[in-house]
Each structure stands twice: as C-alpha cells, then as structure tokens.
Amino acid sequence: MPGVDSRLLNIADLRARARRRLPKGLFEFIERGAEDDRAILNNRTAFEAFMLRPKVLRNVSGRSLACNILGRPSVMPLVMAPTGAAGLMWHDGEIALAKAAAAAGVPFTLSTASLTSIERIAASAPGRLWFQLYMWPDRTMSHDLVKRVQAAGFEALMVTLDTAVAPNRECNVRNGFMLPFRLNRRNALDIALHAPWLVSVILRYMLTTGMPRFENFPEVLQRSMTAAPKGRSALPKNDALTWDDLRTLRQIWNGPLIVKGILHPDDAHEAVSCGADAVVVSNHGGRNLDASIPPLFALPDIVERIGHRAEVFMDGGVMRGSDVIKALALGARAVLVGRAPLWGVAVAGQAGAARALEILAEESLRVLGQLGCSRVDELGTDFLWTGPGATGAGGARCIASGQRHGGIAGTTALHNTTSP
C-alpha cells in the first residue's frame, strides 16, 4: 500500500512499529488494560481455544467477504471500533481513521472521547458513520449530544453500557497518562525521546487549533487535556444508569441503536426488548473488569438468545483474519476492531489505518477459502475444533449450544475435548 513500509506484513508488525514511534505512556494507553491485564490476555487465549477444521473440493474461486450490517451492504464483516483520544496517535487521527474505513467500505465509530467534532468528521469522511455514546449524570447533556449526532447525519448510535464504575488502570497512573495530563520527570523524558511524534502531533496542534480537547463533550465541560476540571469532572459517570435510560434513547434516536458491553445473555435479551437493533459482545477490550469473561466465550449464548431478533457483533483481541473467521463461525454478524487500526494510524496516518484493514481483509479472505467457503454465511461451528491441541477447555463449553442466526446457516455441534 502506498505510504506504508512494505515490510509491515501483519498487525503485530504495525504494533511493533507504533511502539517505537509513540511515547510509552501513550502506547500503553492503547495496549494495556485494567489491573493485571488478565482480561487482555484471556481475550487472546480465547481465540487459541479454537482450531479450524477445513472442508475440501468445494470450489472457492468466487470468494467474497461481502455481507450486510444493519441492513446495508458492507465490503467485509468489520467495523472500526470507537477509540478515545485517537487524535493523539496522529494529527487529526480520527479523520484519518474515518477516511480509511470509508475507503475500505466498512463503518467507522466515533467515540464520545474523540478529539475531533462530530460535525468535522461528517464533513471529512463520506462513509458509514456511527457514534459511540457515554452518558453524563445530567441526561440532557447526553440527549443534546444525540441530537447533534442525528443532525450531522450519522447512521447509527452505539451506547456503551459497561462503564458503571471507573476501571482501575494502574499503568496509566504509573505513566502519568491521566486527565488532566501532567508532566513529570518520567513522562517528560519519554516524550522528549519521541521527538518526531511530539513535533508532528502535539506541536502541530499547538500551532493550529491549540492543545487537544474532547470536542464532543458538552460546552460547559470542555477543556484542554492539560487543564484541571472546574467544579465537576468532564468524564461521563454511569453508575446510576438503568434500562429506562436506554428506552429513552430509543425514543430520541431515530436510526439503528446498538448497545456495547454485553456479556450476559439476559442483558442481551433486555437490550433488544428496549429497542436495540444490535448488541456488541465486549469487555471493553479488556480495559475495564480485569476478571471478565472473554467476549468470544460469551458470544454463542448471546447469539442463541437474541440472534433471531437482532444482530450480534463482538470485539476484543482480534489480531488475525483467522480470529475474524472464528468469531463469524460462532455467530457474530461482524467484528469490531480498535487497536489494530490505532496501531496503523500511529505508524502512517490514514495509509497505516487502511493497511491494518487491508491485512485483516486479506487474511480473512484467505482463511475463508482455506476452510472451503466462498461466503461468510457458509461459516458455522462445524468448521471449529476444540479437541486435543487446542488451548484450554473453554471453547468446547461455549459452543455446545452454538447455532447460527440472522441469515447465517445453521450448523452441526462441535466436537468437544472428549471426542475421538
């Protein structure tokens, strides 16, 4: 891809290059999770609990990743996940991500905690735009933000529900990467050692628009990332949210409504009953509850519970196209990717983010054909194996009731670890 080092062959290569370019505190803000990082590790280990079992002589010459997401055609079953402060990875990083998603033919989700305004994204990127919403204690602030999103022409609203209590991200505290951001000897030296990033991102902001701030926060809460709060915290507080809040959003928002942060089938059922059109099976990328179940293990029960009534997406731990295929085989309609395009944009802006999506698409299409499938709707649990050689026993249990819904073909049960 033009503008990207041809030696960057996979997502791990992009990650390694991003690690060299970004200050440690910023890289670990993306990379790390809560407490002991067990949830991040478990998200990856969950994919290793499944191996793929191909079928042969099936004529895969017409392979395609094309699918429908929220009733509209998509080039592939990927969605760019919401990621806060992406504009620190690259100058105008959110715009670069949105343009890369549009060029790839997949939806882009703008975070409430973005550094670029809703209106500027809408004017800059022609593709499918979704918005991720956090709720403030003063609900009118959030409802006014939803009206801005609707006026800007965004397609879908994604409400994050898994942040009732602030996570314990110890690495951010150690690195000084908190709000407001404060320089100390450790992070000042770290930033100074990454002069290309400092000049091309922070200095460029300072010479144009000033110190970055969260452009979509209510005006009364807006401040630069280095300014102390005045009176009340600008960060959304969610510990008083109830299902009634979701019902109210359903009344306010006219388009597709997605809820993110679902791991329990009962919650998935309740969300759909409140009017959600889709759910994202997610543990916030391993960044909130460190002891949480991996989304991949939670996915089949949720698909079985609501897959005939709503679309089911998942995120967390995706590094390879084979990970995407495994999630689809377990019932996901699409997979959200966050860190992969962030590493890409940190390396080479829009071209780097596009390269991340290109890598995942190429790998997914290759694995699809290697399994003996031409279309993603041919995938199912009969292509998965959790027998001897797979890592852990969680895979066998989590797909015992795995059935495909929502336009995906029904499948046979997977062999468990006691199968011959």
Distance CA 130, CA 356 (A): 20
| Nearest Cα to Cα of residue 81 among 106, 117, 109, 120 | 109
In sequence order, the β-bridge partners of residue 260 are 160, 280
Indicate which residue of 284, 308, 405, 415 is catalytic: 284
| Nearest Cα to Cα of residue 53 among 364, 417, 415, 419 | 415
Active site (annotated) includes residue 284: yes
φ/ψ of residue 337, rounded to 5: -125, 130
**How many alpha carbons lie under 13 Å from residue 349 in its C-beta half-sphere?**
10
Cβ partners under 8 Å of residue 319, min gap 6: 10, 11, 12, 44, 47, 340
285 near 339, Cβ under 8 Å?
yes
| Nearest Cα to Cα of residue 309 among 252, 270, 336 | 270
380 near 409, Cβ under 8 Å?
yes
Strands (E), 134-214: 156-160
Tokens describing residue 62: 């017409």
The strand pair at 384-385 and 51-52 is best described as antiparallel
Residues found in the chain: 420
User: For residue 369, what are the CA distances in angstroms to 59, 74, 326, 384?
Assistant: 9, 19, 14, 15
163 near 134, Cβ under 8 Å?
yes
Distance CA 407, CA 400 (A): 20
The dihedral of CA 337, 106, 108, 163: what is its sign? Answer: negative
Cβ partners under 8 Å of residue 211, min gap 6: 205, 224, 225, 226, 227
Residues annotated as catalytic are 284
